[in-house]
């Protein structure tokens, strides 16, 4: 029978080419920061980029003093290497530069013939 005073929490860190995950058993009332410390993330990744560790639960960002529940998945996020707004603007300029087709080009000849608008 499982202990009701213990929680099972999965701690996950996705790197560029691999995923590190650990399941820790922590007492009830444990915060996200305490579960992170129990997972020994800092010793596994001493060169983690960034001063503060960004974390979340199932894709929703959470604060370090968030109380965890049994079965939670605590995710550790990597810092962004680019500015999302700048990247979006660059993609828009790229699309605009290579747009060669007119938006309102006339239908093709075969489509007109099939529609009965034009004789073959």
Which pLDDT score, from 0 to 100, does residue 24 have? 92
Query: What b-and-e string marks burial along 49-71, b requiring 16 or more CB atoms within 10 Å of the CB?
Result: eeeebebbbeeeebeeebebeee
Looking at the fold, whether 15 and 59 belong to one and the same domain comes out as yes
Cβ atoms 37, 48 nearer than 8 A: no
Is pTM beyond 0.85 here?
no
Query: pLDDT (tens digit, 9 = 90+) per residue, 58-68?
Result: 989 999 899 99
Q: CA 90 to CA 33: how far, in whole Å?
A: 37
Mean pLDDT for 82-99 is 83
Cβ atoms 3, 26 nearer than 8 A: no
- Domain containing 107 equals 84-115
Asked, for residue 16, whether it belongs to a domain, the answer is yes
Percent of the chain with pLDDT over 70: 81
CA-CA distances (angstroms) from residue 23 to 10, 12, 42, 45? 4, 9, 15, 17
Which pLDDT score, from 0 to 100, does residue 67 have? 92
Mean pLDDT for 70-88 is 86
Looking at the fold, whether 38 and 91 belong to one and the same domain comes out as no
pLDDT at residue 93 tops 90: no
Asked, for residue 99, whether it belongs to a domain, the answer is yes
Looking at the fold, whether 55 and 94 belong to one and the same domain comes out as no
């Amino acid at each position: 029978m499982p202990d009701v005073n213990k929680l099972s929490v999965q701690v996950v860190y996705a790197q560029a080419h691999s995923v590190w995950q650990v399941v820790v058993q922590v007492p009830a009332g444990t915060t996200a920061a305490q579960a992170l410390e129990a997972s020994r993330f800092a010793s596994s990744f001493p060169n983690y980029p960034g001063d503060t560790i960004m974390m979340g639960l199932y894709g929703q960002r959470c604060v370090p003093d968030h109380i965890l529940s049994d079965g939670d998945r605590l995710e550790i996020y990597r810092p962004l290497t680019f500015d999302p707004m700048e990247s979006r603007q660059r993609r828009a300029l790229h699309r605009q530069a290579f747009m060669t087709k007119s938006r309102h080009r006339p239908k093709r000849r075969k489509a007109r013939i099939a529609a009965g608008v034009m004789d073959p």
